[in-house]
């Protein structure tokens, strides 16, 4: 029997289509409100491979979706719907995750799932939590509503999220003509710092005893010191009303000073920035022809003042904290300096004759807060990339406080130490000045392993927290998820004593929102001692926060 070309083409196409159909599969699912169990229509569902969208669908009026002809392979899913917390929670970007390594588990929509050619359809059941909401009023000192006041909300500034290695998350809004505000996009549960700033049109109270008064940034419920503020705990789906803030009027003073170059000459037209961070608006003044500057109305407290002088390359920069209390601050001198370089080495300790893996990079993160970053020429992050011998050089370093952020530990290695010269450099504000001794970061083999079971883990997260508070920072605090059998395992752990704690996956707040109080959490933790080359066991009971 013989076939002409057209018949053969039809047979070939049919064979290809049949093979494709056999290699493809269906993925469907159901998305509901995590609190009420009610169907959620209009949810965008993306099936991801290697971080890229491979297929997309939208839920119908019954919260159902269906994707046909999905090729065999491993996938994860993302879900996005107005008014609901997105899954996964992408509050950390991928660049940060790469630098951070094992210090965080970024939630990416649950466990991967496998689509198998010729297998059964894949069914996904998803519960989406509602976005938190808060509302209230801003009032003046007489209790009258303040229209057009600015509301600032800031999430962050915990042990694992500090400026600038974690900038945190901010939200802004304004009060309406009745002094009312409502924030409906708090898509990260946890503790939020809430503050109000008076509009420029609001006349301050009359001077008292010859002391000028003006409105200060006021934190909930009515304090000017953010350390005394009450953080608002917003849980998934939570709604909090009647969060009223009464603006505080405080004594104000002047700050006067001069900007001098490296030769001691006065610098004109230099921008001088005054700020506090934490959502506080920065004040900027330019120096006069004689190099002097003045901030006329500054509330009492601690402020960061900085200047950026552009006289070619490199730019000159200086910053310092000042304390304002009881009187004006006069004759302040700012002397901007040129940047310098610091040398360093990544040490990978391996037995003789064993090839060491590629050395991770290291990042210097400037830690003076948002106020210190406003005009900083080099930005917040400076990266040292080691050569084949582990040596690196970081340039454009301006004098100031830094947090040293080592790269993720290679497989089977653990981070052992971070030192400048002969001293530990673990704190969040290591002062690095010209002439600083070399920076050394050491990774070692032979760490211990910690494993165990977690009662009622529900897909939650286990955390290992060093007993030594100085080491409760990136690289030394480790996390691991529970598997489907409520078991966990953490390999290559630095020897020492740890608190082991499990946060349930169905906790009202996600695991990272529970990490604001180390001392409180250790009451619910188990202690585990990790020894080099040994296995340690810690069976835990998951807690809900």
Prior bond to 164 cis, omega within 30? yes
Q: In this predicted model, what pLDDT tens digit does every residue of 350-390 receive, in sequence order?
A: 998 888 999 999 999 887 665 556 667 777 789 999 999 99
Separation of alpha carbons 440 and 345, rounded Å: 5
Q: How many CA atoms lie within 13 A of 511 on its CB side?
A: 25
Query: Which fold does the domain 448-541 belong to in CATH?
Result: Immunoglobulin-like (2.60.40)
Residue 177's pLDDT is what?
Answer: 96
Whole-number pLDDT of residue 443: 97
- What is the model's pLDDT at position 83? 83
C-alpha–C-alpha distance, residues 101 and 233, integer Å: 28
Tokens 């952020």 -> residue: 405
Q: Show me where the domains of the chain are located.
A: 24-128, 132-246, 253-326, 340-440, 448-541
Tens-digit pLDDT profile for residues 98-148: 333 333 333 334 457 889 887 888 999 998 888 878 999 999 988 999 999
pLDDT at 13 > cutoff 60: no
CA distances from 479 to 29, 38, 106, 285, 414 (A): 30, 33, 10, 46, 13
Residue 450 has pLDDT above 80, yes or no: yes
Higher local confidence (pLDDT), 430 or 236: 430
Q: Assign domain 24-128 one CATH number from 2.60.40.10, 3.60.15.10, 3.40.50.300, 3.40.50.1820.
A: 2.60.40.10
Interatomic CA distance for residues 489 and 397, integer angstroms: 39
CATH topology of domain 132-246: Immunoglobulin-like (2.60.40)
Nearest CA to 248 out of 275, 220, 279, 207 is that of 220
Burial 113-122 (b: 16+ CB within 10 A, else e): eebeeeeeeb
- Angle, vertex CA 541, rays to CA 535 and CA 543, nearest 5: 130
Cα separation, 44 vs 33, in Å, equals 14
Give the Å distances, CA to CA, from 73 to 50, 99, 174: 11, 28, 48
Taking 80 as the threshold, does the pLDDT of residue 465 lie above it? Answer: yes
Kindly tell me if the per-residue pLDDT of 439 is higher than 90.
Answer: yes
Q: Tell me if residue 12 falls in helix, strand or coil.
A: helix
Cβ neighbours, 10 Å, residue 293:
22
Read out DSSP for 354-400?
Answer: PPPPPPPPEEEEE-S-HHHHTT-TT-SEEEE---TTSEEEEEEEPSE
pLDDT at 543: 82
Query: CB neighbours of 20 closer than 8 A, spacing ≥ 6?
Result: 69
pLDDT at 93 over 50: no
SS3 237: coil
pLDDT score of 68: 92
Q: Using alpha carbons only, how large is the chain's radius of gyration in Å?
A: 28
Contacting residues for 326 by C-beta, under 8 A, at least 6 apart: 300
Phi, psi of 432 (to 5 degrees): -115, 120
187 CB burial (10 A radius; 0-12, 13-18, 19+): buried
Task: State percent of the chain over pLDDT 70.
Answer: 83
Nearest to 191 by CA among 164, 213, 225, 219: 219
Provide the pLDDT for residue 372: 58
Average pLDDT over residues 191-218: 89
Identify the H or E element spanning 23.
Answer: helix 5-23
pLDDT at 370: 57
Tokens found for residue 527 = 């202690």
Nearest CA to 273 among 218, 320, 219, 203? 320
Question: Which pLDDT band holds residue 214 (cuts at 50, 70, 90)?
Answer: very high
pLDDT digits (tens, 9 = 90+) for 160-194: 444 444 556 778 899 999 999 999 877 777 788 89
Q: Is the pLDDT of residue 328 over 80?
A: yes
The whole-number average pLDDT for the span 190-199 is 89
Compute the distance between CA of residue 83 and CA of residue 538 in angstroms, rounded to an integer.
39
CA distance 473 to 480: 16
What percent of the chain shows pLDDT beyond 90?
Answer: 49
Paired tokens of 544:
């809900």
* Phi, psi at 119, each rounded to 5°: -85, -175
More confident residue, 81 or 14: 81
Interior CA angle at 291 toward 286 and 297, to 5°?
50
Q: How many CB atoms lie within 10 A of CB 503?
A: 28
What pLDDT does residue 186 have? 79
Sign, CA dihedral 117-120-121-125, equals negative
pLDDT interval class at 488 (50, 70, 90): very high
Contact criterion met (CB below 8 Å) for 222 and 246: yes
Question: 411 or 88, which is more confident?
Answer: 411
Mean pLDDT of 527-542: 94
Average pLDDT for the chain: 83
Task: Identify the band that residue 88 occupies on the pLDDT scale cut at 50, 70 and 90.
Answer: confident
Question: Matching CATH topology for 253-326 and 340-440?
Answer: yes
Looking at residue 368, what is its pLDDT? 66
Q: Which two tokens stand for residue 61?
A: 């009026």
- Does residue 2 carry a pLDDT above 60? no
| Averaged pLDDT for residues 496-518 | 68
Question: In this predicted structure, what is the pLDDT of residue 165?
Answer: 44
Which one of 2.60.40.10, 3.40.980.10, 3.40.630.10, 2.40.50.100 gives the CATH number of domain 253-326?
Answer: 2.60.40.10
| Cα–Cα nearest to 24, from 71, 78, 93, 89 | 71
Q: Which two tokens stand for residue 416?
A: 């052992």
Average pLDDT over residues 68-78: 91
3-state helix, strand, coil in the chain (%, to 5): 10, 45, 45
CATH of 340-440, one of 1.10.760, 1.20.1260, 2.60.40, 3.30.70: 2.60.40
Q: Identify the sign of the CA torsion 527, 532, 537, 541.
A: positive
Looking at residue 9, what is its pLDDT? 53
The whole-number average pLDDT for the span 452-475 is 88
The pLDDT tens digits of the residues spanning 394-436 come to 999 998 889 999 999 999 999 999 999 999 999 888 999 999 9
Distance CA 135, CA 143 (A): 17
CB–CB of 303/324 below 8 Å?
A: yes
């Amino acid at each position: 029997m013989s076939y002409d070309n057209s018949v053969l083409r039809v047979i070939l196409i049919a064979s290809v289509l049949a093979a494709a159909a056999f290699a493809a599969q269906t993925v469907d699912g159901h998305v509901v409100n995590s609190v009420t169990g009610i169907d959620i229509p209009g949810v965008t569902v993306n099936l991801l491979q290697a971080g890229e969208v491979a297929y997309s669908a939208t839920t119908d009026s019954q919260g159902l979706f269906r994707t046909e002809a999905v090729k065999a392979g491993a996938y994860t899913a993302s879900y996005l719907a107005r008014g609901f917390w997105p899954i996964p929670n992408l509050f950390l970007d991928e660049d940060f995750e790469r630098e951070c390594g094992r210090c965080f588990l970024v939630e990416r929509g649950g466990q991967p799932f496998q689509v198998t050619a010729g297998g059964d359809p894949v069914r996904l059941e998803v519960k989406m939590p509602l976005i938190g909401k808060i509302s209230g009023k801003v009032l003046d000192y007489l209790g009258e509503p303040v229209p057009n006041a600015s509301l600032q909300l800031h999430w962050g500034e915990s042990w694992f999220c500090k400026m600038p290695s974690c900038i945190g998350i901010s939200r802004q809004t304004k009060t309406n003509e009745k002094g009312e505000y409502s924030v409906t996009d708090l898509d990260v549960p946890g503790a939020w710092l809430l503050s109000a700033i008076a509009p420029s049109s609001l006349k301050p109270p009359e001077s008292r005893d010859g002391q000028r008064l003006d409105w200060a940034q006021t934190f909930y419920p009515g304090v000017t010191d953010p350390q005394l503020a009450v953080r608002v705990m917003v849980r998934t789906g939570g709604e909090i009303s009647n969060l009223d803030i009464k603006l505080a009027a405080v004594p104000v003073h002047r700050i006067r000073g001069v900007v001098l170059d490296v030769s001691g000459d006065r610098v004109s037209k230099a921008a001088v920035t005054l700020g506090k961070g934490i959502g506080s608006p920065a004040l900027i003044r330019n120096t006069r022809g004689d190099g002097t500057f003045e901030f006329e109305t500054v509330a009492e407290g601690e402020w960061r003042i900085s200047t950026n002088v552009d006289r070619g390359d490199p730019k000159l920069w200086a910053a310092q904290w000042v304390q304002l209390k009881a009187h004006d601050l006069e004759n302040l001198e700012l002397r901007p300096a040129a940047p310098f370089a610091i040398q360093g080495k990544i040490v990978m300790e391996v037995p003789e004759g064993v090839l060491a893996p590629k050395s991770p990079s290291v990042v210097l993160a400037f830690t003076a807060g948002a106020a210190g970053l406003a005009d900083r020429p080099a930005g917040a992050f400076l990266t040292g990339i080691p050569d084949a011998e582990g040596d690196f050089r970081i340039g454009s370093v301006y004098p100031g406080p830094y947090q040293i952020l080592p790269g993720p530990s290679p497989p089977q290695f653990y981070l052992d130490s971070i030192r400048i010269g002969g001293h530990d450099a673990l704190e969040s504000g290591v002062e690095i000045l010209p002439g600083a001794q070399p920076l050394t970061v050491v990774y070692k083999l032979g760490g211990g392993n910690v494993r165990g079971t977690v009662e009622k883990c529900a897909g939650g997260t286990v955390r290992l927290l060093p007993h030594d508070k100085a080491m409760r920072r990136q690289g030394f605090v480790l996390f691991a998820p529970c598997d489907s059998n409520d078991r966990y395992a953490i390999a290559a752990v630095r020897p020492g004593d740890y608190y082991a704690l499990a946060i349930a996956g169905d906790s009202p707040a996600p695991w990272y929102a529970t990490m604001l109080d180390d001392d409180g959490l250790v009451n619910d933790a188990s202690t585990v001692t990790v020894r080099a080359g040994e296995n340690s066991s810690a069976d835990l009971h998951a807690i809900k926060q």
